[in-house]
Amino acid sequence: MTVQDVDRVSFAQEWQEWHRQKEAVLSGPHGFLAITGLHWLGPEPERFEDAPGAWSSTAEGVVVELDEGEELTVDGEPVRGRYDFGVVAERDSVYVGAGDAVIEVARRGGHDIVRPRHPDNPLRTSFTRTPAYAPDPRWVVSGRFLPFAEPRPVTVGAAVEGLEHVYDSPGQVEFELDGVRHRLTAFNGRGPGALMVLFTDRTSGVTTYTANRSLQIAAPDAEGKVTLDFNRAGNLPCAYTDLATCPLPPTENRLPVAVEAGERIPLERGGQP
């Protein structure tokens, strides 16, 4: 298929639906824009203004101690007094209710955290949209997946200074832009066999968010072929809020070209409409 073969009306409509769904998740009542705090838990119980209870990280996992009159909802059931969440796995999250808020209990970079999400957070209520480049079929490119013999652990930095993430990489994705070949280290995507790449390029810090963008890639076919649609290069939550722990791209994923496609710098970070 060539650019000339593309039904541009349908192409734009499908992109708009992708963009709409992505923003609906981001700005939902308990989406990332609703987060009011990023609280790192220690061994001593600590209280926070935006969450009931005193929270701590113990050898047995996360514990909350609720005073009289305080309550959480876990799996639809009210919880009072002391509640043990147990050990939360790395990159997992547990969500519990607190009135109209949701409290996220998670583990990131080896640390237990609590992130309350309040629907009335001003960052959420003032959100309008994310600027993006107009969808253009020229940014849909074919590539191939180059699997490693065994998945390789890759350590990357994070939006939070001093934090690191470790992901298993199943291989690299190779493709061409304007006749120049590039390779990006890939991580596992959202579905079976799917891939995800984190990258920066020459638009980063100019028209797109400085730290990172992500691109989801459907599972390779039987011959290892993949399609990269850079129109769907999206912002991670850290593009909007400092209360996210998003991973940074591996060093080798810094493209020496300007990818003028996908989501741009959010208005909340000084982006242009």
Model confidence pLDDT, tens digit, residues 22-37: 999 999 999 999 999 9
Cβ count near 38 (within 10 Å) = 18
Given a cut of 70, is residue 251 above it in pLDDT? yes
What's the Cα-to-Cα distance from 174 to each of 12, 160, 186, 226, 267, rounded to whole Å?
26, 30, 10, 9, 32
* Residue 4: band (very low, low, confident or very high) from pLDDT cuts 50, 70, 90: low
Please tell me the predicted confidence (pLDDT) of residue 3: 53
Please tell me the predicted confidence (pLDDT) of residue 5: 61
**What pLDDT, in 10s, does the model give residues 42-78?**
999 999 999 999 999 999 999 999 999 999 999 999 9
Nearest to 55 by CA among 37, 39, 79: 39
Given a cut of 90, is residue 86 above it in pLDDT? yes
Nearest to 241 by CA among 201, 209, 272: 209
Average pLDDT over residues 90-104: 97
Arithmetic mean of pLDDT over the chain: 96
Whether the Cβ atoms of residue 201 and residue 257 lie closer than 8 Å to each other: yes
Please tell me the predicted confidence (pLDDT) of residue 165: 96
Given a cut of 70, is residue 102 above it in pLDDT? yes
Given a cut of 70, is residue 145 above it in pLDDT? yes
Q: Which residue has 């998670």 as its token pair?
A: 106
Please tell me the predicted confidence (pLDDT) of residue 1: 46
Please, which residues have CB within 8 angstroms of residue 229's CB and are 6 or more apart in sequence? 139, 140, 215
The pTM assigned to this predicted structure is 0.93
